[in-house]
A and B are shown apart, each in its own frame.
Chain A
Amino acid sequence: MSRVVVAHDNITDTRHPTMRDASTASSFSVHRGSMAEFHSLQEMKHSASLVMKVFIQRDYSEGTVCRFQTKFPPELDSRIEKILLEETVKTLNSFYAEAEKIGGQSYLEGCLACATAYVIFLCMETRYEKVLRKITSYIQDQNEKIYAPRGLLITDPIERGMRVLEISLFEDRGSGSSSPSSSTLSTGGGTR
Chain B
Amino acid sequence: MSAVMISKKVRKWEKLPGKNTFCCDGRVMMARQKGVFYLTLFLIIGTCALFFAFECPYLAVHLSATIPVFAAVLFIFVIAMLLRTSFSDPGVLPRALPEEARFIEMEIEAANGNVPSGQRPPPRIRNVEINNQIVKLKYCYTCKIFRPPRASHCSICDNCVDRFDHHCPWVGNCVGKRNYRYFYMFTLSLSLLTIYIFTFDIVHVVMRSVDDGFLSTLKETPGTVLEVLVCFFTLWSVVGLTGFHTYLISLNQTTNEDIKGSWSGKNRVQNPYSHKNIFKNCCEVLCGPTYPSVLDRRGLMNEDLPISSSSAAQSASLSFNNSKSAQPITKTTAPLIPNEHAADAAKASVGASTEKTLSSPDDHRPPSSSAPPLASPETDAESSVTKDRKR
What residues make up the interface of A, taking CB atoms closer than 8 Å to B? 1-9, 11-12, 15-16, 19-20, 22-23, 26-27, 41-42, 44-46, 48-55, 58, 60-64, 99-102, 106-107, 109-111, 113-114, 117-119, 121, 126-129, 132, 136, 139-140, 143-144, 153-156, 158-164, 166, 168, 182-185, 187
A46→B149 CA distance, assembly (Å): 41
Q: Are the C-beta atoms of A126 and B381 separated by less than 8 Å?
A: no
Which residues in chain B, 266-288, are within 8 Å of chain A measured between CB atoms? 272-273, 283-284, 286-288
Contact of B371 among A2, A107, A162, A182 (CB under 8 A): A182
A27→B384 CA distance, assembly (Å): 10
A5→B248 CA distance, assembly (Å): 54
**Interface check B388, CB cutoff 8 A:** yes
Contact of A4 among B77, B182, B315, B354 (CB under 8 A): B354
Query: How many contacting A-B pairs (Cβ < 8 A)?
Result: 229
Of chain A, the residue at the smallest CB distance from B382 is A19
A128→B129 CA distance, assembly (Å): 26
A113→B182 CA distance, assembly (Å): 11
Give A64 Cβ to nearest chain B Cβ, in Å. Answer: 6
Q: Are the C-beta atoms of A48 and B336 separated by less than 8 Å?
A: yes
Collect the chain A residues with CB atoms within 8 Å of residue B303's CB: none
A79→B217 CA distance, assembly (Å): 85
Contact of B329 among A2, A9, A187 (CB under 8 A): A9
Collect the chain A residues with CB atoms within 8 Å of residue B181's CB: 110
1/0 per residue, CB under 8 A from A, across B91-108: the answer is: 001101101100110000
Collect the chain A residues with CB atoms within 8 Å of residue B150's CB: 64
Of chain B, the residue at the smallest CB distance from A187 is B333
Contact of B289 among A45, A50, A102, A163 (CB under 8 A): A102
Q: Are the C-beta atoms of A163 and B93 separated by less than 8 Å?
A: yes
Of chain A, the residue at the smallest CB distance from B77 is A117
Collect the chain B residues with CB atoms within 8 Å of residue A118's CB: 80-81, 84, 182
Q: Are the C-beta atoms of A185 and B103 separated by less than 8 Å?
A: no
Beyond A4-B378, A154-B345, 8 additional pairs, beta carbon < 8 A:
A1-B351, A12-B330, A50-B335, A60-B128, A99-B289, A117-B81, A155-B345, A161-B94
Q: Are the C-beta atoms of B294 and A183 separated by less than 8 Å?
A: no
A17→B288 CA distance, assembly (Å): 60
Q: Are the C-beta atoms of B294 and A161 separated by less than 8 Å?
A: yes
**Interface check B374, CB cutoff 8 A:** yes
Give B189 Cβ to nearest chain A Cβ, in Å. Answer: 9
Of chain A, the residue at the smallest CB distance from B88 is A118
Collect the chain B residues with CB atoms within 8 Å of residue A117's CB: 76-77, 80-81
Which residues in chain B, 349-391, are within 8 Å of chain A measured between CB atoms? 349-355, 371, 374-376, 378-382, 384-385, 387-388, 391
Collect the chain A residues with CB atoms within 8 Å of residue B94's CB: 160-161
Give B26 Cβ to nearest chain A Cβ, in Å. Answer: 16
Q: Are the C-beta atoms of B334 and A53 separated by less than 8 Å?
A: no
Give A175 Cβ to nearest chain B Cβ, in Å. Answer: 14
Collect the chain B residues with CB atoms within 8 Å of residue A49's CB: 334-336
**Interface check B338, CB cutoff 8 A:** yes
Which residues in chain B, 136-163, are within 8 Å of chain A measured between CB atoms? 137, 145, 148-150, 162-163
**Interface check B131, CB cutoff 8 A:** yes
Q: Are the C-beta atoms of A101 and B80 separated by less than 8 Å?
A: no
Which residues in chain B, 190-230, are within 8 Å of chain A measured between CB atoms? none
Of chain B, the residue at the smallest CB distance from A8 is B381
Which residues in chain B, 71-97, are within 8 Å of chain A measured between CB atoms? 76-77, 80-81, 84, 93-94, 96-97
A116→B92 CA distance, assembly (Å): 26
Q: Are the C-beta atoms of A106 and B287 separated by less than 8 Å?
A: yes
Give B90 Cβ to nearest chain A Cβ, in Å. Answer: 13
A162→B151 CA distance, assembly (Å): 13
Of chain B, the residue at the smallest CB distance from A144 is B349
A152→B150 CA distance, assembly (Å): 33
Of chain A, the residue at the smallest CB distance from B84 is A118
A5→B380 CA distance, assembly (Å): 9
Most buried by A among B129, B135, B287, B289: B289
